[in-house]
Amino acid sequence: MLKVQYSLSEHRFRIREVFFIIFALLLLVSGSVPLHAAEERPLVYILEVEKTVTFGTARYIERGLKEAQSNQADACIISLNTPGGLVDATLEIIQDMSAAKIPVITYVNPEGGIAASAGTFILLNGHIAAMSPGTTCGAAMPITISPTEEGSQAADQKTINFLAGHMKSIAEQRGRPTDLAGQFVTDNLVLNNREALAKGVIDYVAADKEELLNKTHNTTVMINGQKLILRTAGAQMVTVPKNTSEKVINLISDPNLSMIFLMIGIIGLLIGFYSPGFLLPETIGAICLILGLSGMGLFQGNLTAGLLILLGIGLLVAELLTPTFGILGIGGVVSIVMGILLFPKEPLMPERWFTAFKFTALGVGLVGAVFLLIATLGIAKLRGRKPSQGNMESLEGVVTAELNPRGFIRICGEIWQAEAQNGNTVKEGELVRVVQRKGLLLLVEAINQNENGG
């Protein structure tokens, strides 16, 4: 009897234990539901395109789309506020957008923002296009700079026809009105957000990204020939910043900055050529020249203009080597300025950019002229000085580049190549005395060492 009671008690204990476990599991499951729901929250990546569209922008868009796809984002928003940019960079962006395996939403914002010229191409290529209140798009007629006229002028008809046809192709692919798309290029058509929505150029007007994602929720888009229903309401938004490489490419692919780097590089190397031994001008000049040439390779240029720039460099070098008293130098500066003005052939850059570029070219010419004046006066002064090459023994100088055993010294304001007579190292800044001259090489001895030895 006692054994039966014990078994019954044990049985009841086990039943209570099972109920307790079931209850704990229910609590655990109910507590995990919000977490699971949070994990299922839609993910949207944000790529911000501001100012001029350059190859730095293209690299940024390419990386951002790949990152969004690898993280299985539900969509990617390209936020636009740009007056235009480089043609090749814009075409690369369009290709990357078209190849994307996730929906790409183009969105002109904030209020007062624009998507002009190259920005209009990008706007129309979105699977879904939207604008903020108070924004505008259009004005995509290709233009070119004219050195003899104020501002800029329309590009040749071949360029206009090509870009108009490409804009129509983009609009047709996305189901937008092709006639209006062509007018953006041929007639410089400009539409505000209300007009663009009414004419079917864009799909939505939204005050901010949250409102935009709520409006696009449950919208059907075509991705690589397949229908996809967007899930964007209440999405988690991740903004992708530009990395260092993209910032550098963005910097040097701007034609304005590229030409400035080029001129600084030219002047730096000429200073180094004129006054060897300092190394700093040559180093800075070489770095800037590489940056300038790299930037010039990233945008469309005019071959004739490139030859004018090379001619100008050659004339400046000749000016430093021959006593023309500025004639070759002036020709060099004029040649470089004309080459810079004619070099960029970027029809989708904003018109105001061309005006600024003219001032850049004139500024480069002014700096070159000042450098030329200083160099010419310096050369004239040296040529008017009595030559000291006849008897230089016992003259004292200062080491400007360490003698190990060869380096450079300054004597009477001139830079000479020198060699320590005893083969020892003489550090920069130490005093030396000329012992013997061998052509353009001076044999010297350290004054301190000589005096101590005596």
Q: In the chain, what are the domain boundaries?
A: 1-39, 41-245, 254-384, 396-453
The whole-number pLDDT of residue 144 equals 74
Residue 80 sits at the vertex; the CA angle it makes with 79 and 83, to the nearest 5 degrees, is 165
* Residue tagged active-site, from 3, 158, 227, 438: 158
CB atoms within 10 A of CB 239: 12
The whole-number pLDDT of residue 385 equals 53
Our answer to whether residue 79 is catalytic in this structure is no
* Residue tagged active-site, from 117, 152, 253, 258: 117
Cite the DSSP H helix spans in 323-446: 327-342, 351-384
Residue type (1 letter), 359? F
The whole-number pLDDT of residue 454 equals 42
CA–CA separation, 174 vs 299, rounded Å?
A: 28
Cα-only R_g, the chain: 35
User: By C-alpha distance, which of 314, 312, 302 is closest to 345?
Assistant: 302
Whether the CB-CB separation of 52 and 254 falls below 8 Å is answered with: yes
- Spell 175-192 as b/e; 16+ CB within 10 A means b: ebebebbbbbbbebbbbb
The whole-number pLDDT of residue 370 equals 77
CA–CA separation, 376 vs 296, rounded Å?
A: 30
The whole-number pLDDT of residue 24 equals 53
- Report helix, strand or coil for 237: strand
Q: Could you tell me which CATH number the domain at 41-245 has? A: 3.90.226.10
Cite the DSSP H helix spans in 46-147: 55-70, 87-99, 118-124
Our answer to whether residue 427 is catalytic in this structure is no
The whole-number pLDDT of residue 404 equals 86
CA–CA separation, 136 vs 13, rounded Å?
A: 75
Q: Which residue ranges in the chain fall short of pLDDT 70?
A: 1-39, 145-152, 273-279, 297-301, 320-326, 346, 351, 354, 372, 375-391, 448-454
| CATH number of this structure's domain 396-453, picked from the four choices 2.60.120.10, 3.90.580.10, 2.40.50.140, 3.40.50.620 | 2.40.50.140
Tokens 């004597």, residue? 411
CA–CA separation, 117 vs 53, rounded Å?
A: 10
Pairing of strands 406-411, 414-420: antiparallel
Residue length of the chain: 454
Global pTM reads 0.69
CA–CA separation, 85 vs 55, rounded Å?
A: 9
